[in-house]
Amino acid sequence: MIIPGLNDSEQELRQIAEFLVSLDQGIPWHISAFHPSHEMTDRGRTPAETLHAARAIGLESGLAYVYVGNISSLEGRNTYCRSCGALLIDRSGFSARKVELHGQRCSSCKAVLPGVGLDVAP
């Protein structure tokens, strides 16, 4: 979750992305917007521009899968094959439907998509 004034600086976002890359470029980074509520109402919502900038930083740093959530945006919600660019998983809100994924492989180029809960096709 990116919270305005707390962890939304370019420097901190780069540090997060670089740390994730140092572990594994295939780790997905889910970037979520902050919405003020309950006991933390002293900050505003996370601007969409900040989330998209964080996504760009993650991709530039070498992360293969960077997703934007908690906002209405087409950018950064779907999964594409890192090898051929085919759309693999189309998302809408909290639901996802597999489009061109057979087990853990891209149906176009047969590249393996890393992930938990994906059945490996024989």
Specify whether 92 is located in the same domain as 49: no
Q: Do 64 and 82 belong to one domain? A: no
46 lies in the same domain as 25: yes
Count of domains in the chain? Answer: 2
The pTM of this model reads 0.83
The DSSP result for the chain, as a single string, is -B-TTTS-SHHHHHHHHHHHHHH-TT--EEEEB---BTTB-SS-PPPHHHHHHHHHHHHHHT-S-EEEESS--STT-SEE-TTT--EEEEEETTEEEESSEETTEETTT-PBPP-TTPPPP-
Over residues 63-83, the pLDDT tens digits come to 999 999 887 777 788 888 989
pLDDT in tens, 82-115: 899 999 888 877 777 777 788 888 989 999 888 7
Q: Residues 29, 50: one domain?
A: yes
